[in-house]
Amino acid sequence: MEEEKLKWLPEPELDDTREHFLPYKQATNQETTEKDRPSLTDKKVCKKNTVKPRPGSSVEIHGEIEEDEERETSGQPQVNDTSIESVADVPLSSQNARAVAICVECRKPRVVYSKTKLNQRKEVALAMFLREYEFSCGAHLFPPSAALSEMKKTVVTRPFVQCATPVELCYYGAELGRKDLCAHCGDPGAETDAELKTLYKTVLPICQKCRDMRKEPIVQRKFGKSKK
């Protein structure tokens, strides 16, 4: 087929009702954008029995939101609340962060967790899978057809994560890669807010591009009042 006759597939775009995507024939005859691509938007997701939310939590469960719209921050820093504590009996903590899987779409690093340190055989197997398969946010780390059933149960990533989900706090708490990645977009060269660091124990980096988009720094653990 001649090169000039080749056509790229259009981006998925919702119709005026915002409930259905445009038919293929209609989408190919107009300019489409990435704004409605499912992997770039937060959606409601179903809870699964394999995860354990923190009791009494009423805030966002790291990618699982109660409303379709994004929460307004009103100029306030965004509090990072990681309510899912474990998956398949693997605590999702910085101490159990063993590696990262890079999403093929958003290029953000997603933390790979294991309760025990990976031995050489598991490290090699994990590296081979990450090199051979394209990982995307929210997907299972290993494909269904993969061998090493033991690793599927003990080596996990955080569930309910989408491309719009910020970089995990555990990424910055473990020695897994660059610490200057923007928590919102994953771009390098981001900086932490010096003023917020006097108010919060944890302040994640944010780049100028995300600041220009009116995104707020992600923070956690506000300092309490000192006792006199």
Distances (CA, A) of 98 to 125, 171, 175, 179: 13, 10, 9, 16
- For 47-64, how does the pLDDT look when each residue is reduced to its tens digit (9 = 90+)? 333 333 333 333 232 333
Q: Is the Cβ–Cβ distance between 92 and 170 less than 8 Å?
A: yes
Where is pLDDT greater, at 175 or 31? 175
- For 109-149, how does the pLDDT look when each residue is reduced to its tens digit (9 = 90+)? 999 999 899 899 888 888 888 888 888 998 888 776 666 66
Residue type, 152: K
CA torsion through residues 77, 203, 91, 165, sign: positive
Q: In the chain, what are the domain boundaries?
A: 38-222
Banded model confidence at residue 86, pLDDT cuts 50, 70, 90: low
Mean pLDDT, rounded, of the chain = 73
Collapse the DSSP code of 39 into the 3-class scheme (helix H, G, I; strand E, B; otherwise coil) and give the result. Answer: helix
DSSP 63: T
Question: How high is the pLDDT of residue 5?
Answer: 43
Rg (CA), the chain: 20
d(CA 175, CA 204): 15
Question: How high is the pLDDT of residue 203?
Answer: 93
**Has this prediction a pTM greater than 0.85?**
no
Question: How high is the pLDDT of residue 211?
Answer: 94
Sheet holding 78-79, edge to edge: 78-79, 218-222, 200-203
- For 21-34, how does the pLDDT look when each residue is reduced to its tens digit (9 = 90+)? 566 567 667 776 66
**Residue 87: both structure tokens together:** 């998956």
